[in-house]
């Protein structure tokens, strides 16, 4: 890692822990900063804070005392999930204390070039495919980081100049950058999302667009050419734009022509050889190919990944088949568009499990995608809202408490040949700490189906 000195003897507040906060605090401590960590979780229930205290880092737990900011901090490193309306953040802004997120630290210390991937949907799948394609070229050529579950600063500490960091980036993380500049930036798509955090669509789009704000003509921006909004926004970037489109024949970039996957005028391989199903995944694949070609991955190496890659956990993930029923875990579908994409990928009868955190969204946009949904099982805060849409679409609707209760009922109401799909269209936080926890609850419940179910 780069041995930067800008934080030596500076007072830094790390606000909020989780894995990224722990990583940021530890890194800043190594860089010579005077670090204070503040987390809402009580110290006795906070093993992360206990571990930081053992390193000699000052820890304050149990609340966010606004008066803490009177201690003369020169920087705040904010957990991405903490909103800017938080009193601590608002006071830090009033005091003109710089506020960053942990990915900014990762960029500052990284010897490895960063490939940053953002977008409303497809980030995790695209990041994972890019990671596998680069590692097909050379083992450990790529390291995963960011919103995909590996703190960027922790990964950047270990990364070397001959590696890449494939970093998934949320809008929350991008709001806290200052100098962050990926060698390659990818925007998979932009739709309306996270308005409970960003308040307006314009603010959400601005946050996503920040991924390219420090790029120059020496960096690349891979962008979805099927979205007029993104296409128009590229007029304002200094980066070299590489478009991709699953629907248009392009003069440059990644696209489909006569059943072949193309990059510029070069045939990469046949579309029919791609294992990962769904039209929405074709966007992710084309974006990944564009990155791989920029990084000099061969066509044979690219196609080997596309012929074998089955998908990522919790993202239209095939779980298992029981007595003719196929179970799919799409717990990462935390918004309506993601569930629309999942439903459009199946042409068999579907038993859909949906529901979760109520962000004030109505779900009428799902109705046209219910044509193959025979049964809808709803749960969580949005159960009534989604159930209403299902009934209006003529779907048989049932309500249960949670995912664990939904699985045996889904099996009971299904027939051989049906798809049983968890695709909630909502965040998990009303009942589950993360979408991963929700997805694992789904898979655990499948394993708990009684033996006679399989006969």
| C-alpha to C-alpha distance for 31 and 25, rounded to whole angstroms | 10
Higher pLDDT, 391 or 452: 391
Going by C-alpha positions, the residue among 191, 198, 110 that lies closest to residue 146 is 110
Q: What is the pLDDT of residues 25-54, one digit of tens each?
A: 999 999 999 999 999 999 999 999 999 999
Quick one: pLDDT at residue 196? 75
Number of other CB atoms surrounding residue 340 within 10 Å: 20
Higher pLDDT, 347 or 259: 259
Q: Identify the residue whose tokens are 């790390």.
A: 14
Question: Is residue 118 part of an annotated ligand binding site?
Answer: no
Going by C-alpha positions, the residue among 281, 341, 262 that lies closest to residue 128 is 281
Question: Is residue 121 part of an annotated ligand binding site?
Answer: yes
Distances in Å between the Cα of 77 and the Cα atoms of 10, 22, 110, 175, 233 are 13, 11, 17, 12, 29
Task: Say whether pLDDT at 318 is over 90.
Answer: no
Going by C-alpha positions, the residue among 8, 13, 7 that lies closest to residue 59 is 13
> In the chain, pLDDT over 90 holds for what percent of residues?
87
Mean pLDDT computed over every residue of the chain: 94
Question: Is residue 122 part of an annotated ligand binding site?
Answer: yes
Quick one: pLDDT at residue 317? 86
Question: Is residue 361 part of an annotated ligand binding site?
Answer: no
Domains of the chain plus CATH, in order, are 11-100 (3.40.50.720), 103-308 (3.40.1190.10), 317-454 (3.90.190.20)
Residue 167 · residue 101 · CB < 8 Å: no
Quick one: pLDDT at residue 455? 36
Is 0.85 topped by the overall pTM? no
Going by C-alpha positions, the residue among 370, 320, 364, 323 that lies closest to residue 344 is 370
| C-alpha to C-alpha distance for 34 and 24, rounded to whole angstroms | 12
Distances in Å between the Cα of 327 and the Cα atoms of 224, 320, 386, 448 are 30, 6, 21, 13
- When pLDDT is averaged across residues 268-285 and rounded to a whole number, the result is 90
Question: Is residue 149 part of an annotated ligand binding site?
Answer: no
Q: What is the pLDDT of residues 284-300, one digit of tens each?
A: 999 999 999 999 999 99
Assign 199 a pLDDT band (cuts: 50, 70, 90). Answer: confident
Question: Is residue 135 part of an annotated ligand binding site?
Answer: no
Q: Among the listed ranges 25-39, 318-332, 388-402, which one has the minimum average pLDDT value?
A: 318-332
Residue 128 · residue 315 · CB < 8 Å: no
Hey, which bits of 197-329 come out as E strands?
220-224, 240-245, 254-257, 260-263, 266-270, 317-322, 325-329
Quick one: pLDDT at residue 452? 56
Q: What is the pLDDT of residues 107-132, one digit of tens each?
A: 999 999 999 999 998 899 999 999 99
| C-alpha to C-alpha distance for 122 and 279, rounded to whole angstroms | 12
Going by C-alpha positions, the residue among 420, 417, 425 that lies closest to residue 387 is 425
Quick one: pLDDT at residue 217? 98
Question: Is residue 439 part of an annotated ligand binding site?
Answer: no
Task: Say whether pLDDT at 454 is over 50.
Answer: no
Q: What is the pLDDT of residues 296-313, one digit of tens each?
A: 999 999 999 999 998 888
Going by C-alpha positions, the residue among 105, 61, 63, 60 that lies closest to residue 88 is 63
Quick one: pLDDT at residue 347? 87
């Amino acid at each position: 890692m780069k041995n930067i000195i800008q934080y030596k003897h500076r007072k830094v507040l790390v606000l909020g822990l989780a894995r990224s906060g722990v990583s940021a605090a530890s890194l800043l401590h190594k860089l010579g900063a005077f670090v204070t960590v503040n987390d809402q979780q009580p110290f006795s229930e906070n093993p992360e804070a206990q571990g930081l205290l053992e390193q000699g880092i000052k820890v304050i737990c149990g609340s966010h005392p606004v008066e803490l900011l009177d201690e003369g901090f020169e920087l705040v490193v904010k957990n991405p999930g903490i909103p800017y309306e938080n009193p601590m953040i608002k006071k830090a802004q009033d005091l003109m204390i710089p506020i960053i997120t942990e990915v900014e630290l990762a960029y500052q210390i990284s010897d490895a070039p960063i490939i940053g991937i953002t977008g409303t949907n497809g980030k995790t799948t695209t990041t994972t495919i890019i990671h596998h394609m680069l590692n097909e070229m050379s083992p450990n050529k790529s390291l995963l980081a960011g919103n995909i579950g590996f703190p960027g600063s922790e990964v950047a500490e270990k990364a070397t100049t001959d590696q890449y960091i494939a970093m998934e980036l949320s809008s929350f993380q991008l709001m806290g950058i200052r100098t962050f500049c990926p060698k390659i930036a990818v925007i998979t798509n932009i739709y309306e999302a996270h308005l409970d955090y960003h308040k307006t669509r314009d603010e959400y789009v601005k946050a996503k667009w920040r991924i390219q704000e420090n790029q120059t003509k020496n960096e690349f921006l891979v962008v979805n050419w099927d979205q007029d909004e993104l296409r128009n926004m590229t007029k304002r970037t200094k980066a070299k734009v590489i478009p991709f489109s699953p629907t248009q024949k392009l003069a440059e970039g990644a696209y489909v022509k006569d059943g072949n996957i193309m990059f510029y005028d070069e045939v990469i391989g046949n579309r029919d050889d791609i294992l990962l199903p769904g039209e929405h995944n074709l966007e992710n694949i084309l974006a990944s190919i564009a990155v791989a070609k920029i990084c000099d991955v061969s066509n044979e190496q690219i196609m080997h990944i596309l012929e074998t890659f089955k998908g990522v956990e919790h993202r239209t993930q095939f779980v298992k088949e029981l007595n003719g029923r196929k179970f799919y875990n799409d717990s990462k579908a935390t918004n309506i568009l993601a569930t629309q994409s999942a439903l459009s990928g199946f042409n068999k009868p579907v038993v859909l499990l949906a529901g979760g955190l109520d962000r004030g969204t109505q779900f009428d946009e799902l109705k046209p995608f219910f044509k193959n949904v025979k049964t809808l099982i709803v749960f969580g805060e949005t159960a009534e809202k989604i159930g209403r849409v299902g009934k209006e679409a003529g779907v048989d609707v049932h309500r249960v408490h949670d995912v664990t209760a939904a699985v045996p009922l889904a099996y009971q109401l299904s027939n051989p040949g049906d798809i049983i799909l968890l695709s909630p269209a909502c965040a998990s936080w009303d009942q589950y700490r993360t979408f991963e926890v929700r997805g694992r609850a789904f898979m655990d419940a499948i394993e708990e189906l009684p033996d006679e179910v399989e006969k």
